[in-house]
Amino acid sequence: MSADRKFFVGGNWKMNGSKEAINGILQFLNDSKVPANTDVVCAPPMVYLPYVKERLQSGMQVSAQNCYKVASGAFTAETSPAMLKDLGVDWVILGHSERRHVFGETDELIGQKVKHALDEGMKVIACIGEQLQERENGLTEEVVFKQMKAIANNVNDWSKVVIAYEPVWAIGTGKTASPEQAQEVHARLRAWMSENINPAVGQSTRIIYGGSVNAKNCQNLGSQADVDGFLVGGASLKPDFITIINARC
Q: Which stretch binds ligand PEP (CB under 6 A): 50-58, 69-77, 164-172, 220-228?
A: 164-172
Binding to ligand PEP by CB under 6 A, coded x per residue (else -) over 117-156, reads ----------------------------------------
Catalytic residue flag (residue 166): yes
Catalytic residue flag (residue 195): no
Q: Does 210 bind ligand PEP (CB under 6 A)?
A: yes
Q: Does 181 bind ligand PEP (CB under 6 A)?
A: no
Contacts of 45 (CB under 8 A, 6+ apart): 13, 14, 15, 16, 17, 65
Q: Does 212 bind ligand PEP (CB under 6 A)?
A: yes
Distances, alpha carbon 49 to alpha carbons 19, 21, 197, 236, in Å: 11, 14, 34, 16
Q: Does 163 bind ligand PEP (CB under 6 A)?
A: no
Binds ligand PEP by CB under 6 A, chosen from 43, 92, 231, 245 = 231
| Active-site residue (options: 98, 130, 134, 166) | 166
User: What residue number has its CB nearest to ligand PEP?
Assistant: 233
d(C-alpha 230, C-alpha 40), whole Å: 10
Q: Does 167 bind ligand PEP (CB under 6 A)?
A: no
Using the minimum distance from each CB to ligand PEP, give the nearer residue, 22 or 202: 22
Binds ligand PEP by CB under 6 A, chosen from 193, 234, 237, 245 = 234
Q: How far is the CB of 248 from ligand PEP (least distance, A)?
A: 18
* Total of residues contacting ligand PEP (CB under 6 A): 14
Using the minimum distance from each CB to ligand PEP, give the nearer residue, 88 or 172: 172
Q: Does 26 bind ligand PEP (CB under 6 A)?
A: no
> What is the DSSP code (8-state) at residue 93?
E
d(C-alpha 210, C-alpha 33), whole Å: 22
Q: Residue 25, SS3?
A: helix
Q: Does 1 bind ligand PEP (CB under 6 A)?
A: no
Q: How far is the CB of 125 from ligand PEP (least distance, A)?
A: 9
d(C-alpha 27, C-alpha 21), whole Å: 10
Q: Residue 37, SS3?
A: coil
Other beta carbons within 10 angstroms of residue 59's beta carbon come to 15
> What is the DSSP code (8-state) at residue 129?
-
d(C-alpha 125, C-alpha 64), whole Å: 10
Q: How far is the CB of 14 from ligand PEP (least distance, A)?
A: 6
* Burial class of residue 18, CB neighbours in 10 A (0-12, 13-18, 19+): exposed
Binds ligand PEP by CB under 6 A, chosen from 41, 122, 227, 232 = 232
Question: 105-109, long-range: CB within 8 Å, 24+ apart, which pairs?
Answer: 107/146, 107/147, 107/150, 108/150, 109/69
Q: Which residues have a catalytic role annotated?
A: 96, 166
Residues that bind ligand PEP (CB under 6 A): 12, 14, 166, 171-172, 210-213, 231-235
